[in-house]
Amino acid sequence: MKKTGIEDIRREIRHKDRDIVRLLNERARLSLEIGKIKGREGIGIYDPARESRVLDEIAALNGGPLAAEALGHIYREILSSSRALQAPLAVACLGPEGSFAHLAALDRFGQSARMAPQETIGAVFDAAEKQKADLGVVPLENSVEGPVRVTLERLIATPLSIRGEILLRISHCLMARGAKGRIRRVYSHPQALAQCRQWLAKNLPRAVPVETESTSAAVLQALKDREAAAIGSRLASEIHGLAIVEEGIEDHPANTTRFIVIGRGVNGPTGRDKTSILLSTQHRPGALHAALEPFATAGINLLRIESHPARDRMWRYLFFIDLEGHSDDRTVKDCLRKLQRKTAFLKVLGSYPGETENP
């Protein structure tokens, strides 16, 4: 384009905007047609494998200058609005609004999904199991504090599958009604308090930590107490109107929480999948090594192994394992078949597209 004045460039932008709106509506009409076919054939609206492929294709098309992350956010909202045209999607998450689980759900499902905040992680599972919500979003583990035990325990017995994962960089804010020097109590979720332990010890050594069900619940509690503060997200501050006293108070700047999407149904393969399983071994030496040997032989990478006490039997453990590949892949399926014969208990929790953390 030859050099022109600002108004000439803005006129060109308006022309592009008209083209974008026209093309978005053409895309929306095609999405509506797909929705009608899905309805006739009984196919679920949420298809993470398909959405993952779409986002990968869009990323490959991007030649800049728009950043890849920005383009991804734009297309997640386009996908969100397309789903909403086909059928409303209700997503349960640990609330109230502004919690990190709420942020993770918005990041994955966009503003067009109907968010259904719940008071506890157990209530999120209940909502999805009783079909009061189509899907649920719950925290599974944090890069600093490790696994979320409540989630692990519910995964043992739930009929739901893991349909996806969301990696969310966590940045904590300290919020309060009064000045920092007046703070005597700090409310937050146990994981958030633990992730800011060093900062609190250095900057608020006399303040008493008080646990709540979620970071947003902490904000609501601090709103009632002039001598209290809450640890939570910037969004929680904006939604609930509690002033930010300090930002970025987490002890580790790379602090990341892994959330999982839970729901009925299974996902198709994408080529970059992860499978999560739960197992217990026979109570004898070398049982876990023997059980996992087929994966080593087949060259399947185990991404995570987490032990958890089996509550029904003392000194016995359950193992949560993430591995590369989809449960429908021939090699993975063969290994799972061998694993079934070598374990006392085996449950495939789900196969889903693996995510990479945004910088």
Would you say how long the chain is, in residues?
A: 359
- According to DSSP, the β-strands at 114-118 and 256-263 are unpaired
* Residue of 100, 125, 259, 320 with catalytic role: 259
Helix (H), strand (E), coil (C) string for the chain: CCCCCHHHHHHHHHHHHHHHHHHHHHHHHHHHHHHHHHHHHCCCCCCHHHHHHHHHHHHHHCCCCCCHHHHHHHHHHHHHHHHHHHCCCEEEEECCCCCHHHHHHHHHHCCCCEEEEECCHHHHHHHHHCCCCCEEEEEEEECCCEECHHHHHHHHHCCCEEEEEEEEECCCEEEECCCHHHCCEEEECHHHHHHCHHHHHHHCCCCEEEECCCHHHHHHHHHCCCCEEEEECHHHHHHHCCCEEEECCCCCCCCEEEEEEEECCCCCCCCCEEEEEEEEECCCCCHHHHHHHHHHHHCCCEEEEEEEECCCCCCCEEEEEEEECCCCCHHHHHHHHHHHHHEEEEEEEEEEECCCCCC
What count of Cα atoms within 13 Å lies in the side-chain half-sphere of residue 337? Answer: 8
- Does 320 qualify as catalytic in the annotation? no
Residue 127 φ then ψ, to 5°: -60, -40
* Residue of 215, 257, 270, 281 with catalytic role: 257
> Do 84 and 45 contact (CB within 8 A), yes or no?
no
- Does 259 qualify as catalytic in the annotation? yes
Residues marked active site are found at 257, 259
